[in-house]
Homo-oligomer: A and B are copies of this chain.
Amino acid sequence: MKTDDLIIKTLRENPSKPVSGELMAHRIGISRAAVWKRISRLRELGFNIEGGASKGYILCGIEDLIRPELIGKKLETRFVGKTIIYRSVTGSTNLDALDLAAKGASEGTCVISDAQTAGRGRLGRSWVAPAGGSILTSVILRPKLSPQTATLLTLAAGVAAARAIHHVTDLKPWIKWPNDLFVGNRKLAGILTEMHAEMDRVHFVVVGIGMNVNMDRKSFPSEIRKIATSLSIEARRTVSRNQLIATLYHELEAAYVRLVEHGAKPIIAQWEELAKIRGKHIRASLVNDRKVYGTAIGLDSDGALLIEDRNGKIRKITAGDVEVTNEPPEKE
């Protein structure tokens, strides 16, 4: 991982002339064959590296590089993003942030990466994102909240991401419970919120956000091509990742502070408005593999999804997976 990061760093420092395999090998302290192997792998991750061992390597698509110093200039926050750890390639920004938090990193510390080799999503799933076109960032928070209330942070993060996207691109993504962002029926962003807590005290929370920004349809792996989209596809223009990250941090801090200071109500109201959830037909798969069908009526005060089944019974969904269907609920 560290070697990959060093290779990208070297290429980023030489945006206008190719770096020979020999120079790269010498600088990093590995063999030329190892450089070639690493470059192949980095290309598989989605980095647009042109050239070869003899001609030298050059990183293309450089106009939208993530630059922490640029983000810092655009930042209007009190604590989120004041410390940014950038890694070109890492296993998972959430794992990095959890590790940093356990070692005492301060509230608001952010990890950003261009590519993850083991990106993770909700419910133990993986998160696939071609390098160079994504926002992959994890934010460390230390809320003085009980674990029960802290679970609302995941809704707050969904609200923040939707608002940041709207602010920068004018797009209006909707939120699928609890916090996937969609345009139409294609997924734009996902959020994985993890916490470490005592039973009545949160030690820290890591909010991880994966967002498809500048990628065309064909740069998505074939298995997700039909169900994924990006901001550049939807907005029909390249979107500045540095600007979007700064706006995202601003919105995240605002939503977080609102939750801590004013409790669940304002966040839940914002979420319900952005999700346009009321009246939608829902098929929920619970953690125990049972299914529940119904019509969404909103969120409970603890962030659970409330749906009314065909028999008029209110069901409360606290965990699991939700699909929005076109058919009204049938009898179970």
For the complex, what is the distance from the CA of A111 to the CA of B123, rounded to whole Å?
27
Which residues of chain A from 156 to 209 have a CB within 8 Å of any chain B CB?
178, 192-201, 203
Does A319 touch B at the CB level, under 8 Å?
Answer: yes
For the complex, what is the distance from the CA of A302 to the CA of B320, rounded to whole Å?
20
- Ranked 3 nearest A-B pairs via Cβ: A200-B319, A154-B199, A151-B199
Could you say how many copies of this chain the assembly holds? 2
Does A287 touch B at the CB level, under 8 Å?
Answer: yes
Does A133 touch B at the CB level, under 8 Å?
Answer: no
Q: A151-B147, A318-B146 are in contact. Are A196 and B198 (CB under 8 A)?
A: no
Does A148 touch B at the CB level, under 8 Å?
Answer: yes
**Which A residues contact B (CB, under 8 angstroms)?**
122-123, 144, 146-148, 150-151, 153-154, 178, 192-201, 203, 287-288, 302-303, 318-320
B154 lies within 8 A of A151 (CB): no
For the complex, what is the distance from the CA of A303 to the CA of B148, rounded to whole Å?
11
Q: Which residue of B lies closest to A288 (CB)?
A: B144
B148 lies within 8 A of A151 (CB): yes
A193 lies within 8 A of B199 (CB): yes
A196 lies within 8 A of B199 (CB): no
In the complex, besides A123-B201, A148-B318, 13 extra interface pairs with C-beta distance below 8 angstroms are: A122-B200, A122-B201, A144-B287, A146-B318, A146-B319, A148-B148, A148-B151, A148-B302, A154-B199, A194-B199, A195-B199, A199-B303, A200-B318
Residues of B within 8 A of A199 (CB): 150-151, 153-154, 178, 193-195, 303
Q: A148-B151, A148-B318, A287-B201 are in contact. Are A195 and B192 (CB under 8 A)?
A: no
Among A150, A192, A319, chain B packs the most CB atoms within 10 A around the CB of A319
Residues of B within 8 A of A153 (CB): 199
For the complex, what is the distance from the CA of A197 to the CA of B199, rounded to whole Å?
11
Whole-angstrom distance from the CB of A291 to the nearest CB of chain B?
16
Whole-angstrom distance from the CB of A155 to the nearest CB of chain B?
8
For the complex, what is the distance from the CA of A318 to the CA of B151, rounded to whole Å?
15
Q: A146-B319, A302-B148 are in contact. Are A196 and B193 (CB under 8 A)?
A: no
For the complex, what is the distance from the CA of A196 to the CA of B153, rounded to whole Å?
15
For the complex, what is the distance from the CA of A128 to the CA of B200, rounded to whole Å?
21
Q: Which residue of B lies closest to A320 (CB)?
A: B200
22 residue pairs bridging A and B, Cβ less than 8 Å apart: A122-B198, A123-B198, A144-B288, A146-B151, A146-B319, A147-B148, A147-B197, A148-B151, A148-B318, A151-B199, A178-B200, A192-B198, A194-B196, A194-B197, A194-B198, A194-B199, A194-B203, A195-B196, A197-B197, A199-B303, A200-B318, A201-B319
For the complex, what is the distance from the CA of A297 to the CA of B199, rounded to whole Å?
21
